[in-house]
Amino acid sequence: MLYAGHPDADLIARGRAALAAVDPAFARLDAELPPFEWRSRPSGAASLMRKIVEQQVSTASAAAIWGRFEAGLGGNVTSASVASLDEARLRSFGLSGQKVRYVGEIARAELEGRIDFRRLGAMPEDEALGALVAMKGVGLWTAEVYLLMCEGRTDAFPAGDLALQEAWREAAGLDARPGERALRGMAEPWRPWRGVAAHLLWAFYVASRPPAKAPARP
């Protein structure tokens, strides 16, 4: 499902064409891979909390924990509803103590006015990233994935994502997988379509592996 403000098929096609013109590896991927939809979630604190909850657990475990978390909050995950529960209650949904602290920090940051999710979309990318990573527990990868998926930014690029690093190694025929810093530098010529590049590389990574070995979506 595409949420309001997220790239539509025409915009994604424009991005793919631009990337194909910049690098022959993308030209090959664009020719080989079918159209894709933007990986989208609604913007707001709940989606950022969900990204925290899902980290470092299997896809099935993440879905189960989030389901209990959402049900425990009456189906209405907001900063206010999270802040109304104590740590023991939040941990009863299956969250680790660390994740309880992190979702609590997101809730407090919004309630205290340290972040306004409604304004993120109007901020320059560096400013938006700064507002997100200022919250304890929200690292750069999480912030970049949030801007990519929840804000629909066509130039957001989580260079620390291992699947992206490996996909580019394979697509570009590199001898070794580039690290975060190296991949970020390699991606500079892809501006302002690095978000489209991320989707194209994820699609390539999944398509080139047996279904059982394909990674969970970010």
Read off the pLDDT band of 107 (50, 70, 90): very high
DSSP letter string, 57-118 = S-HHHHHHHHHHHHHHTTT---HHHHHTS-HHHHHTTT--HHHHHHHHHHHHHHHTTS--HH
Q: Which pLDDT tens digit goes with each residue over 58-81?
A: 889 999 999 999 999 999 999 999
Rounded CA-CA distance 144/160 in Å is 9
* Percentage of the chain modeled with pLDDT above 90: 88
Mean pLDDT over residues 99-116, rounded? 97
Question: Residue 201: left (phi > 0), alpha (psi -120 to 50), or beta?
Answer: alpha
Terminal-residue alpha carbon distance, the chain: 15
CATH 2.40.30.10 applies to domain 9-39+156-213: no
pLDDT of residue 56: 87
Q: How many angstroms separate the Cα of 140 from the Cα of each of 21, 135, 203?
A: 29, 11, 22
Mean pLDDT over each residue of the chain, to the nearest integer: 93
Mean pLDDT over residues 32-39, rounded? 94
Q: Is the pLDDT of residue 202 over 90?
A: yes
Note the CATH number of domain 45-149: 1.10.340.30
Q: How many CB atoms lie within 10 A of CB 62?
A: 18
pLDDT of residue 3: 41
Contact 82, 73 (CB under 8 A): yes
Read off the pLDDT band of 212 (50, 70, 90): low
Contact 6, 199 (CB under 8 A): no
pTM of the full predicted structure? Answer: 0.90
Q: How many CB atoms lie within 10 A of CB 71?
A: 10
Mean pLDDT over residues 125-131, rounded? 95
What are the sequence ranges of the domains in the chain? 9-39+156-213, 45-149
pLDDT of residue 153: 95
Rounded CA-CA distance 194/144 in Å is 11
Residue matched to tokens 């159209």: 35
Rounded CA-CA distance 215/54 in Å is 13
Mean pLDDT over residues 131-135, rounded? 97
Mean pLDDT over residues 10-15, rounded? 97
Q: Is the pLDDT of residue 217 over 50?
A: no
Q: Is the pLDDT of residue 200 over 50?
A: yes
